[in-house]
């Protein structure tokens, strides 16, 4: 089953939006398979955002993501990678559609609340970077027959 890496960034935690964010993935029908509340090391932040290392916002982004705790999660379900990106919304919360997490809760690109893997391969890399295999819980929600035919 497909899995994706989701992180509620420091602004989402500080603004008390952890429950609201988790609820959107839960009520959609995705399955939580890993979750931890943690401070992010500079090393982890730099690896996670390695693809952006040449961008002007890189150092600010690393500073921000390490500034206060985050909620790191892995969610599972058919098509979860692309669907989670739709639930999250466009990178800039000001232009993100209403009904998305960023569209509903944010006003600036540097404080866009949440991270979600952008492709299946990226998700695999990010899950392996943030979680050990033992930290992931494989389980069968009893509602699955009511979610999938």
Contacts to Mg ion by CB under 5 A: 118
Q: Which residue has the tokens 């705790």?
A: 69
- 6 forms beta bridges with 73, 116
Radius of gyration of the chain (CA): 15
Helix (H, G, I), strand (E, B) or coil at 4: strand
**Helices and strands, number each (H, E), in the chain:** 8, 4
- Given the complex with ligand IDP, which of 18 and 141 has the nearer CB atom? 18
Q: What whole-number distance in Å separates Cα of residue 23 and Cα of residue 29?
A: 10
Smallest distance, ligand IDP to C-beta of residue 61, A: 5
Decide whether 28 or 85 has the Cβ nearer to Mg ion: 85
Which of the choices Mg ion, ligand IDP, none does residue 91 contact, using the CB cut-off of 5 to 8 A by kind? ligand IDP
CB of 142 to ligand IDP, least distance (A): 33
Q: Tell me if residue 52 is catalytic.
A: no
Least distance to Mg ion from the beta carbon of 30, Å? Answer: 19
Q: Which residue is catalytic, options 66, 115, 126, 127?
A: 115
* Interface contacts to ligand IDP, rule CB under 6 A: 52, 57, 61, 91, 109-110, 112, 115, 118
Dihedral sign for Cα atoms in the order 136, 139, 142, 144: positive
Which residues are the active-site residues? 115
């Amino acid at each position: 089953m497909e899995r994706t890496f989701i992180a509620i960034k420091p602004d989402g935690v500080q603004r008390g939006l952890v429950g609201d964010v988790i609820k959107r993935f839960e009520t959609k029908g995705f399955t939580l398979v890993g979750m931890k509340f943690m401070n992010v090391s500079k090393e982890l932040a730099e690896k996670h955002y390695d693809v952006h290392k040449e961008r002007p916002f890189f150092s600010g982004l690393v500073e921000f993501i390490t500034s206060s705790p985050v909620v790191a999660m892995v969610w599972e379900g058919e098509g979860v990678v692309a669907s989670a990106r739709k639930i999250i919304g466009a990178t800039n919360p000001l232009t993100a559609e209403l009904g998305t997490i960023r569209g509903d809760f944010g006003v600036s690109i540097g404080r866009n609340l949440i991270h979600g893997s952008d492709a299946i391969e990226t998700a695999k890399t990010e899950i392996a970077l943030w979680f050990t295999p033992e930290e992931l819980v494989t389980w069968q929600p009893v509602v699955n027959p009511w979610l999938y035919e």
